[in-house]
Amino acid sequence: MAEVQGGNCSHNGVGDEGLVPKKRAGLWIPYRGCWLTPEAVKSVKLVEEQFQARSDDVLLVTYPKCGTTWLKALAFTVTNRRLHTVAGDDAHRHPLLARHPQDLVPYLEMPYRQLQQHPVAELEELASPRLLSTHLPVTLLPPSVLHLGCRVVYLCRNPKDVLVSLWHFINKVNQKYTIDKAFELFCKGETVYGPIWEHCLGFWNKAAVSSSESESDSRRTVLFLKYDEMMAQPVEHVKMLAEFLRVPFTDEEVSSGVVEDVVRLCSFDKLKSVPVNSSGVCDRIGGLPMENSSYFRAGKVGDWANHLTQEMANKLDAIVEEKLTGSGLTF
């Protein structure tokens, strides 16, 4: 895996729309079943036209606020652990101590490709096998990703925690975005990259097809993960992730505690404490500089209870349950 990928931090904002329009919430537009800002739509179209997948690409796919930063840190650390050891004399040189996890694995659609002179050049320059990330739903993935059967790690999270996390994040740029407004839009599915249930279901169904068509686990093309389960059993999940990424831990690594070292290095508390994550500002989207620390808020399962009323929770649960009926996917 290439050493370090992606991430150009710039402090100068470009344009006036980002993850959420600054003046008021709810200016996303529906684009082929997915709510995006007009600027994001332009970028997605460019990616669709110009990005060429390679058969050994691995995509980390998340709906926003489902644990993208954590998954990027884990996947990068697991795949590069021979080059960058997680324990021992060289551990203090690990890239995670010098760069934000968001910048170690580039997004397909961000920073907005129309803002680059050569829209996908940054991605083309990466050595194979590439580790890439995206928030795009399955329906908007570049066609070559699907044709080549690129492997996908999909991480989802309880929608109530996603709503609260997204609301906090968006509030960093839009002070007037109340929890009531966020809740109303989220329940309608009108949130960035939403509806969340369509996003999750798309990859849940793809995972089901992939496992029914594969004779063995090693041929599966989708690994479907849940944040809450990963938080409860991180060691087991990191082993599973390594298997899927085709860099399984050896018996010796397991017995010497390398898996636990990876879990510790990528833990919320550890990453939050690293200066590159706790200070500074970076524009990873295009026109939306954000504090690096905004990707490390609570890092908890069930924080929704501190922000949503029981009535709100019941309503969102009922909507999600109804949307997922018959799929086998539950939260």
List active site positions. 135
Exactly one of 91, 181, 184, 268 binds ligand PAP (CB under 6 A); which one?
A: 268
DSSP β-bridge partners for residue 318: none
Residue 169: CB minimum distance to ligand PAP, A: 6
Pick the stretch among 52-60, 145-153, 289-297, 308-316 that binds ligand PAP (CB under 6 A). Answer: 289-297
Number of C-alpha atoms within 13 angstroms, CB side, residue 153? Answer: 27
* Cα dihedral 127, 130, 135, 139 in deg (nearest 10): 110
Report the distance separating Cα 255 and Cα 1, nearest Å: 24
271 lies in the site for ligand PAP, by CB under 6 A = yes
Exactly one of 7, 64, 142, 189 binds ligand PAP (CB under 6 A); which one?
A: 64
Q: How many CB atoms lie within 10 A of CB 325?
A: 9
Residue among 210 and 288 whose Cβ is closer to ligand PAP:
288
Residue among 119 and 234 whose Cβ is closer to ligand PAP:
234
Residue among 72 and 113 whose Cβ is closer to ligand PAP:
72
Exactly one of 67, 106, 159, 189 binds ligand PAP (CB under 6 A); which one?
A: 67
**Continuous H helices in 32-142:** 38-50, 68-79, 121-124
202 lies in the site for ligand PAP, by CB under 6 A = no
Residue among 168 and 226 whose Cβ is closer to ligand PAP:
168
Length in residues, the chain? 331
Report the distance separating Cα 186 and Cα 195, nearest Å: 8
288 lies in the site for ligand PAP, by CB under 6 A = no
Residue among 298 and 305 whose Cβ is closer to ligand PAP:
298
Amino acid at 202: G
Residue 31: CB minimum distance to ligand PAP, A: 19
Pair 148, 53: CB distance under 8 Å: yes
Pair 37, 22: CB distance under 8 Å: no
The closest of 177, 152, 196, 155 to 316, measured between CA atoms, is 196
Exactly one of 36, 126, 263, 266 binds ligand PAP (CB under 6 A); which one?
A: 266
Pick the stretch among 47-55, 235-243, 290-298, 314-322 that binds ligand PAP (CB under 6 A). Answer: 290-298
Residues numbered 161-200 forming contacts with ligand PAP, rule: CB under 6 A: 161, 165, 168
Whether the link from the prior residue into 137 is cis, omega within 30° of 0, is no
Q: How many residues bind ligand PAP (CB under 6 A)?
A: 21
Pair 7, 99: CB distance under 8 Å: yes
Pick the stretch among 20-28, 44-52, 215-223, 293-301 that binds ligand PAP (CB under 6 A). Answer: 293-301
Residue among 113 and 220 whose Cβ is closer to ligand PAP:
113
Q: Looking at the chain, which runs of residues are DSSP E strands?
A: 29-31, 34-36, 58-62, 131-134, 151-156, 222-226, 281-282, 290-291
Exactly one of 150, 183, 299, 307 binds ligand PAP (CB under 6 A); which one?
A: 299
Report the distance separating Cα 331 and Cα 324, nearest Å: 10
Using CB under 6 A, list all residues that contact ligand PAP: 62, 64-70, 161, 165, 168, 266-268, 271, 295-299, 303
